[in-house]
């Protein structure tokens, strides 16, 4: 592709992403879905851009996207918000995660003849809902505080859960560990040290961040430190993703930690978190990375194996069906039936499974291509089906009032 045409397309994608956000108010179609469709059109459908066009830069891009989304997601986990709906959201998150892992791993193992550990890995990375898709939809749908709190917290917690378990399983598969006990043992050890390094780094950075701000052109410095932290932790053989996530959580809650009387008795240092300008800056970076990444996912989709995509569609449908009882049991009487219906279909997969699904192939693991295709197909179908159902139920909220939802 002509270099100048490529640059023009990159610029247009950002404008289109903003336009798609505005269109959500009228159409209820999330911009993620439209970006995926653009990638599919210019990729596998027309052949204008192929996955080979990106070369090794594609692997670098997915890794950087993973780092950025981990960091920003961690910084968005506010201690006070967690307390509001932690009960229902936590149980819903764990219940749906376990059911999805069991369902997906069984189907992938028997229908696609994937080995057990790889099948469980696929189930783990698609076991949650996507913050990148759920949060904008929930906010723009103007749902009640209880409903929105549960869905937002569920997406945040499940993102973390998918990352933690998925990365742990991937490390186990890479090292040839096939025992669940050994995987959990390695996960525990790697995560304890990774979390410790992340927390200590976050604590240290919260102390010196005010001094860093006095340096000219320092807005990107925090993110640069995140890249360094991730690289060092990975070189130590630990989980860099978890370290970055822990780092983000500390910085996101630095002010509340700094006001803690107990902490002041232990360490008499001034702590500082993000200011509004920095939060806007990091949110804009995530917006840009998300825009390009979902187009990249669309370009990378391969439609050569109908059986894999049929399996992905089956998994998505069954995930939604299995989610309904959990919503009915955990939502409570304070949530109306129309909102309960919306919550039941709010199972889109997004950035986290899309990124993690690409890692086994990058590492040259067995069934890496199947994992990639199945992961991407589940992301695609979950977003499409969720979007269509949300559009229908938003325009006709009483459509299913005759059913017990």
Question: Encoding tokens for residue 135?
Answer: 């949060």
**pLDDT surpasses 90 at 204:** no
Residue entry with tokens 């932790």: 233
Tell me if 319 is assigned to some domain.
Answer: yes
Tell me if 377 is assigned to some domain.
Answer: yes
Domain limits at 109?
3-177+282-395
Tell me if 227 is assigned to some domain.
Answer: no
User: Could you tell me the pLDDT band of residue 100, with boundaries at 50, 70 and 90?
Assistant: very high
Using CA atoms, how far residue 212 sits from 9, 207, 244, 264, 311, in Å, is: 36, 10, 19, 22, 50
pLDDT mean across residues, the chain = 80
Tell me if 340 is assigned to some domain.
Answer: yes
Question: Encoding tokens for residue 303?
Answer: 């439609």
Name which of 266, 232, 239, 269 is nearest 254 in CA terms: 269
According to the model, what pLDDT value does residue 367 have? Answer: 85
Dihedral of the alpha carbons of 344, 349, 352, 354, in degrees to the nearest 10:
170
Tell me if 400 is assigned to some domain.
Answer: no
User: Could you tell me the pLDDT band of residue 403, with boundaries at 50, 70 and 90?
Assistant: very low
Q: How far apart are CA 226 and CA 203, in angstroms?
A: 13
In the chain, what percentage of residues exceed pLDDT 70?
84
Name which of 341, 391, 285, 320 is nearest 68 in CA terms: 285
Name which of 326, 349, 346, 353 is nearest 386 in CA terms: 346
Tell me if 65 is assigned to some domain.
Answer: yes
111-130 pLDDT, tens per residue?
A: 998 888 889 999 999 998 88
**pLDDT surpasses 50 at 268:** no
Residue entry with tokens 């764990």: 94
Mean pLDDT to the nearest integer, 243-247 = 86
Tell me if 218 is assigned to some domain.
Answer: no
Counting the structural domains of the chain, the total is 1
29-84 pLDDT, tens per residue?
A: 777 788 888 988 988 888 888 777 776 677 788 788 878 877 887 777 666 665 66
Q: How far apart are CA 63 and CA 22, in angstroms?
A: 29
Q: How far apart are CA 230 and CA 210, in angstroms?
A: 22
CATH value at residue 329: 1.20.1530.20
Tell me if 190 is assigned to some domain.
Answer: no
**pLDDT surpasses 80 at 15:** yes
Task: Output the pTM of the full model.
Answer: 0.73
């Amino acid at each position: 592709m002509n270099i100048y045409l490529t640059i023009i397309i990159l610029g247009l994608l950002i404008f289109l992403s903003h336009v798609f956000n505005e269109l959500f108010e009228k159409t209820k179609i999330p911009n993620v879905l439209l970006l995926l469709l653009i990638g599919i059109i210019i990729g596998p459908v027309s052949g204008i851009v192929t996955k080979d066009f990106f070369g090794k830069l594609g692997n670098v891009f997915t890794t950087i996207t993973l780092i950025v989304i981990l960091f920003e997601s961690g910084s968005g986990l506010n201690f006070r918000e967690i307390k509001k709906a932690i009960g229902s959201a936590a149980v819903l998150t764990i219940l749906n995660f376990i059911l999805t892992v069991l369902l997906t791993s069984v189907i992938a193992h028997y229908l696609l003849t994937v080995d057990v550990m790889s099948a469980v890995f696929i189930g783990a990375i698609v076991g949650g809902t996507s913050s990148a898709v759920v949060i904008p939809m929930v906010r723009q749908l103007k749902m009640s505080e209880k409903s929105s709190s549960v869905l937002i917290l569920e997406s945040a917690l499940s993102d973390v859960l998918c990352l933690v378990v998925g990365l742990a399983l991937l490390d186990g598969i890479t090292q040839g560990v096939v025992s669940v006990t050994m995987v959990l043992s390695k996960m525990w050890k790697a995560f304890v040290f990774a979390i410790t390094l992340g927390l200590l780094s976050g604590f240290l950075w919260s102390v010196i961040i005010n001094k860093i701000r006095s340096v000219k052109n320092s807005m990107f410095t925090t993110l640069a430190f995140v890249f360094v932290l991730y690289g060092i932790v990975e070189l130590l053989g630990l989980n860099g993703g978890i370290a970055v996530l822990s780092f983000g959580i500390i910085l996101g809650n630095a002010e509340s930690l700094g006001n803690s009387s107990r902490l002041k008795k232990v360490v008499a240092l001034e702590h500082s978190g993000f200011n509004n300008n920095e939060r806007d800056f990091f949110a804009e970076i995530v917006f840009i990375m998300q825009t390009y990444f979902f187009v990249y996912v669309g370009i990378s989709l391969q439609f050569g194996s109908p059986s894999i995509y049929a399996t992905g569609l089956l998994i998505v449908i069954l995930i939604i069906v299995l989610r309904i009882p959990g919503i009915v049991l955990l939502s409570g009487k304070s949530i109306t039936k129309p909102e309960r219906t919306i919550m039941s279909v709010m199972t889109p997969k997004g950035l986290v499974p899309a990124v993690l699904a690409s890692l086994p192939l990058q590492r040259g693991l067995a069934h890496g291509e199947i994992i990639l295709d199945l992961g991407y197909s589940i992301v695609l179908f979950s977003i499409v089906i969720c979007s269509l159902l949300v559009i229908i139920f938003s325009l006709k909220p009483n459509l299913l009032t005759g059913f017990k939802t």
